[in-house]
Homo-oligomer: A and B are copies of this chain.
Amino acid sequence: MPDTLTIALDAMGGDHGTRTVMPGADLALERNPDIHLLIYGDETAIAAELKKYPRVKAAAKVIHTDVAIAMDAQPSQALRQGRKTSSMWQAIDAVKNKKANAAVSAGNTGALMAMAKVILKTAPNVDRPAIAAIWPTTRGESIVLDVGANIGPDAKQLVSFAVMGRAMSRVIYGLLEPTIGLLNIGQEEIKGLDEVKQAAQMLRESALPIAYHGFVEGNDIGAGTVDVVVTEGFSGNIALKTAEGTANQITQYLKAAMRRSLMARIGYFLAKGAFSALREKLDPRAANGGVFLGLNGIVVKSHGGTDAMGFASAIDLAINMAREDLVANVIADLEAYYTASDDLPEQKVSVS
């Protein structure tokens, strides 16, 4: 891999566009001074922000685009209106044309996935790409996928998500053999959706040395029971949003509790350092970035409502995965899995 990585940024995505992307890029450059940036978007808006961030200006090439994809555009509409001309399209296209090692956008998820599929195409052996999230746990971090790209369960898809999540976990955490769990509504083998049970059997019988743990439940995600949690996009998205909601809820309870009495306020003052450590743990910006897995290129989706710090985390993630060549690893692992599976007698992968 080249030492100098280039990251393409869609400057028009997210709720705050350039006003988040530029300071986010600045923070990311502080941590990764060697990277180059290609910044796609309205040059006037970008120039206004670049004045404030000389470090970004020095590391970036700005490419003007006329079209910005609306946050509420339907994917088909975005493809029609933004094909070739939009900042989102061109940022992804830079990855395809090897001008950039990865693209980052805080724009509309559906549009970003649709464009990424059209431009980068799905990788060999991939039926449908997935979105993988980094999930902070009591043991560290886990990867959860899919968190919203594909809805409805499908055994083969779940297995390919497991293989892709395993590759991502090896790449970003350097784990030799990450443990894999299938999200279900009970740990017993008899419970849950048929498609999930079928995927379990396929993973158990895989010729690859996959460390398949078994079924996990919703509470196992935060506990870090496994390194990779595999599920279809509907329940994955609901789990992700429910965890966010619960964290917000508890933060509100905690604030209210600390305002409750003078003693509590003094206590809060004394424990301030501890509370900031807690806030950091709970900060959704620290683990911001959904990784599109299963494409011939790296695209990271930043949360649309994030701020500079969150956007910087998404850039960090893109850098990390480009440096470790995520795509080649995913493709090689899928290839190995399917080669091994094809060797299995037919009845071994079917479920009675």
Question: How many identical subunits does the complex contain?
Answer: 2
Confirm or deny: A174 has a beta carbon within 8 angstroms of a beta carbon on chain B: no
Confirm or deny: A1 has a beta carbon within 8 angstroms of a beta carbon on chain B: no
Interchain CB contact under 8 A, B270 and A263: yes
Tell me, in angstroms, the Cα distance from A351 to B275 when the chains sit together: 51
Interchain CB contact under 8 A, B239 and A260: no
Tell me, in angstroms, the Cα distance from A208 to B114 when the chains sit together: 40
Which residues from chain B contact A219 at a C-beta distance below 8 Å? 241-242, 244-245, 248
Tell me, in angstroms, the Cα distance from A193 to B185 when the chains sit together: 19
Interchain CB contact under 8 A, B218 and A238: yes
Cβ distance A255 to chain B, nearest Cβ, rounded Å: 10
Interchain CB contact under 8 A, A193 and B234: yes
Interchain CB contact under 8 A, A264 and B257: no
What does the 1/0 interface line of A175-194 toward B look like (CB < 8 Å)? 00000000101001011110
From A216, which residue of chain B is reached at the shortest CB distance? B241
Interchain CB contact under 8 A, A271 and B278: no
Confirm or deny: A347 has a beta carbon within 8 angstroms of a beta carbon on chain B: no
Q: Which of B235, B245, B269 makes the CB contact (< 8 A) with A223?
A: B245
Confirm or deny: A277 has a beta carbon within 8 angstroms of a beta carbon on chain B: yes
Interchain CB contact under 8 A, B257 and A277: yes
Tell me, in angstroms, the Cα distance from A220 to B185 when the chains sit together: 21
Interchain CB contact under 8 A, B185 and A148: yes
Interchain CB contact under 8 A, A222 and B248: yes
Tell me, in angstroms, the Cα distance from A258 to B277 when the chains sit together: 10
Residue ranges of A at the interface with B (Cβ–Cβ < 8 Å): 72, 74, 110, 137-138, 148, 151-152, 183, 185, 188, 190-193, 217-223, 231, 233-235, 237-250, 252-254, 257-258, 260-261, 263-264, 266-275, 277-278, 281-282
Query: Sorted from nearest, which 5 A-B pairs have the closest CB atoms?
Result: A218-B241, A267-B271, A219-B245, A267-B270, A218-B242
Q: List 23 A-B contacts (CB under 8 A).
A: A137-B249, A138-B248, A185-B234, A185-B238, A218-B237, A218-B238, A219-B244, A221-B242, A222-B242, A222-B245, A222-B249, A223-B245, A231-B238, A235-B238, A238-B238, A243-B243, A253-B282, A254-B278, A257-B274, A257-B278, A261-B274, A264-B273, A266-B270
Given contacts A246-B247, A264-B273, A267-B270, 18 further A-B contacts (CB under 8 A): A72-B188, A110-B191, A152-B193, A185-B234, A192-B234, A193-B234, A218-B241, A218-B244, A219-B242, A222-B242, A223-B245, A239-B242, A242-B243, A254-B278, A258-B274, A260-B273, A264-B271, A267-B269
